Structure 1
Amino acid sequence: MKFVTKRIHAFLDYPVAIALIALPFLLGLGSSNPLALQLSVVTGIAALILTLLTDHHLGVFRVISYQIHLIVDFLVGAVFVIAPFIFSFEGIDAYYYWINGVAVLSVVSLHKPEVAMEF
């Protein structure tokens, strides 16, 4: 059952980007590898820029298609799931990336396709 619409996704984008920037500091990420903190902050900044540029109702400049946005989200989710293995993240660092990666992949996989209206 796919229920995450373009509109719902747009409302999630800004808080998620801000959380990716702020949570690493609040949770004290980086104890197993400083990259655990840096990767999230950089991804959060990139997510904020992507959201501003996406063609949805909360996009400001609307130059990137929503489909491209979904592909980028999928890639970020996949990278977050494998990052703890590649960079030897442990403890909270690893759990943070696994939880966020699975959450992003879930949102993308639950995306409800747009129905084109033909007249």
Structure 2
Amino acid sequence: MKLRFISPTMHGVADYSAGLGLILFPIILNLGESSDLAFWFSIGTGIAVWIASALTNYKLGLLRTIPFEGHLAIDLLVAATFMAVPFLFSFQGIDAYYYWINAAVVFLVVSLSDSNESIKTII
């Protein structure tokens, strides 16, 4: 069984969906009880995810300037940041859990993403 089954195209769909979620879920979950930063950091990250996705060299990228492997490295940095942010800024309760769950999901998606699909085969 192939462990890396998320194609760059599927990863792109996940990226744009995650960006939307990072913008909407702070509102839905009423984040910010322990710190206003918990609310705004998610929204800012959601916007940054859309920008990075638009710049990534995959089927759903618009400018295609960031190699997909570079995009995966950015995702790992985001996941590590999401793990650390609750500790660094003393997030408590739902604010902390939100970031830890997001970190776990991003780590999982990156670990299951296959970077072998070339842009030439998906256009």
Q: Same fold (TM over 0.5)?
A: yes
RMSD: 1.2
- Structure 1: 4+ residue segments shifted above 3 A: none
In structure 2, stretches of 5+ residues that fail to align are 119-123
For 1:8 and 1:60, the matched residues in 2 are separated by 16
For 2:115 and 2:98, the matched residues in 1 are separated by 29
TM-aligned CA distance change 1:113 to 1:49, over 3 Å: closer
1:42 aligned to 36, 41, 44, which one?
44
Q: TM-score, normalised by structure 1?
A: 0.92
Q: How many percent identity over aligned positions?
A: 45
**1:76-115 map, 5 Å:** 76-114=78-116
- State the Cα deviation string for residues 24-65 of structure 1 (Å, max 9, x = none): 011100010111001101100000011111110001111111
Q: TM-score, normalised by structure 2?
A: 0.89
For residue 75 of structure 1, what is the aligned residue in structure 2?
77
How many residues are treated as equivalent by the alignment?
116
